[in-house]
Chain A
Amino acid sequence: MKEKVLGESLIIAGRVFSSRLIIGTGKYRSYDEMRAAHTASGAEMVTVAVRRVPLDRSSESFLDHLDPALQILPNTAGCYSSEDAVRTARLAREALQTDLVKLEVIGDQTTLFPDNEQTLDAARILVKEGFVVLPYFNDDLIMAKKLLDVGCAGIMPLAAPIGSGLGIQNPANLRIMREQLPDATIIVDAGVGTASDAAIAMELGADGVLMNTAIAEAEDPGKMGAAMKLAIQAGRLAYQAGRMPKRLYASASSPLQGVIK
């Protein structure tokens, strides 16, 4: 479809995506701005939240504002218990007829850090019910292994608090996760603030990056969407290329012989 030249695709439970960028649909100033950012980013999958319908007014369907070609990834954002996350996932599946779910069980309102224990609990239940589960969790290798063991299709470690834009705060942990879980689909979720952050996540070996605020709260979300697309591609290529080793001292690029005296 697009960028075939950049090689392999992101595959999640048999679904093939040529873009390694997954983006959110929240915080945009207008639907037009959201759509422009989605298009510019080249993302093929967007995540949406599940909420009670307002009963006091007729509401248009948010889904109608999305490009119908996009794969919708419902999330369980806002859930604080395994039980609520499972209920939310089931409702999303019923409405969207998709078994994909981005599982989120939050443990604390200030940090929005995940409750790993509740997340694992919910993942276990949802996998048994046939969901393709992509859990958001702390950047912990042992937790990653447990989530994969219960059958999650991929894992979504955070890089910094949700919406913080702090950038990749845990490069060592992400690298360890990549090295120790070479076959896992790892999608860095949360913390990216600008294009270089996305490139770093990819250079560390992530299979993809999920972001929302970095694009939605940019002054020009369309431009930032385009920047993220390039950053993801650049980071992926650099990872595949294999970077040079770092050294403390200089190493001349030109031959030492033949310099005029």
Chain B
Amino acid sequence: MSDELKLIAAAKAGSADAFADLVRAYRVRLLRFLLTRSPSYADAEDVLQDTLIAAYRYLHSYDPRWRFSTWLYRIAIRNAAKLRGPDLVEIGDLRDEENDPLQQCIADSETDNLWVSARQLLNDEVYSAMWLRYAEDMSVNDISKALDRSASWTKVNLMRGRRVLETHLNGAAQQSEAYG
């Protein structure tokens, strides 16, 4: 039995310490993803907290055939979607640049961050699929489970997302050449 499965078994038995150990490695990864999906840093932290509480409370429903990270991301994506409310406002339109937590977290970086453009160009689901694929190195099957979509939907939308970003990058390169 792997360490992760041992911790899951202990957490299922009611050990909060075991669960805290289990999710320690995932907290920063989840927070990084949630920051790109939330209108503020505080919201992202709240969603992370809600996600971990929900995961602990409903740990009995976790199916060990899934990767634990896939299951956690599935909960996180649902909780992040609740932030948008029933009007389904795309998260890219929610905030001003000054208070944008993603902008704040890449402020020290010297080059443009492609995830900022991705958030503007892709819809929420495609963005999430792209994040899970390229930031988390998840397989297509895991992504489709996390998003509750078919594998074919995931493949097609990953391709579309890539195409949109490639077009954007090519356009940006041509523009910078034109300006010399």
Whether chains A and B associate is no
* A contacts, CB < 8 Å to B: none
